[in-house]
């Protein structure tokens, strides 16, 4: 799928763009299962910046040096945040990767410990707005329940290259879509 296998940017954009239209969970899981071996190369072709941006946001909020923190990289993907953490001076202890859906996110308040940080990222382009709204509703419920406190909600203009012209915000001329970084702190139980 990636450049090494003869793919080019337009093929990567078409492949990833097609995934944005899959609404059936089983079909989406099958797509990601087939895509996993080429995921890292494909997102690199799109200049995907979310892992680096998440690490920057998280490390700025840590009370000490990143290499003193125990960090669990949990979300969709292949561990790119953990790779970014391990590449930092002093090597933060970025752990493995797992899938985290909205249903699991709602029960996630038991982890981390009170005072611990949770950093999430997502795209804000048209094909992802429904997911973003559902994510924000879940995060709002966690905050209203006193489980988490929002520290950061930062929009980023240059998230990754768009998979189609329809994904680019009006007025943007560089072909990038936007995204958002959320940083929350786990609160003590009331």
Q: Are 2 and 12 in contact (CB under 8 A)?
A: yes
Grade residue 20 by pLDDT with cuts at 50, 70 and 90.
Answer: confident
Q: Print burial letters for 62-71: b (CB count within 10 Å at least 16), e (below 16).
A: eeeebbebeb
Grade residue 165 by pLDDT with cuts at 50, 70 and 90.
Answer: confident
Highest mean pLDDT of the ranges 1-15, 57-71, 144-158 = 144-158
What tokens does 161 get? Answer: 């290259």
CATH number of 47-186: 3.40.50
Q: On the CB side of 32, how many CA atoms lie within 13 Å of its CA?
A: 13
The model's pTM is: 0.81
Grade residue 179 by pLDDT with cuts at 50, 70 and 90.
Answer: very high
Please report, to the nearest 10 degrees, the dihedral formed by the alpha carbons of residues 37, 38, 39, 43 taken in order.
Answer: 160
User: Residue 139 is inside which H or E element, if any?
Assistant: helix 129-144
Q: Domains of the chain: which residue ranges?
A: 1-46, 47-186
């Amino acid at each position: 799928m990636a450049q090494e296998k003869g793919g080019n940017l337009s093929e990567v954009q078409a492949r990833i763009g097609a995934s944005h239209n899959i609404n059936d969970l089983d079909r989406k899981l099958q797509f990601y299962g087939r895509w996993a071996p080429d995921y890292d190369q494909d997102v690199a072709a799109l200049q995907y910046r979310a892992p680096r941006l998440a690490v920057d946001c998280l490390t700025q909020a840590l009370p000490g040096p990143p290499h003193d923190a125990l960090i669990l990289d949990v979300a969709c993907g292949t561990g790119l945040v953990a790779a970014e953490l391990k590449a930092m001076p002093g090597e933060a202890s970025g752990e493995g990767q797992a899938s985290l859906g909205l249903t699991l996110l709602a029960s996630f308040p038991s982890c981390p410990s009170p005072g611990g940080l949770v950093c999430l990222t997502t795209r804000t382009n048209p094909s992802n707005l429904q997911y973003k709204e559902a994510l924000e509703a879940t995060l709002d419920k966690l905050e209203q329940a006193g489980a988490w406190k929002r520290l950061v909600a930062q929009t980023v203009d240059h998230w990754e290259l768009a998979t189609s012209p329809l994904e680019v915000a009006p007025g943007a001329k560089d072909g990038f879509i936007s995204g958002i970084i959320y940083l929350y702190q786990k609160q003590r139980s009331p």
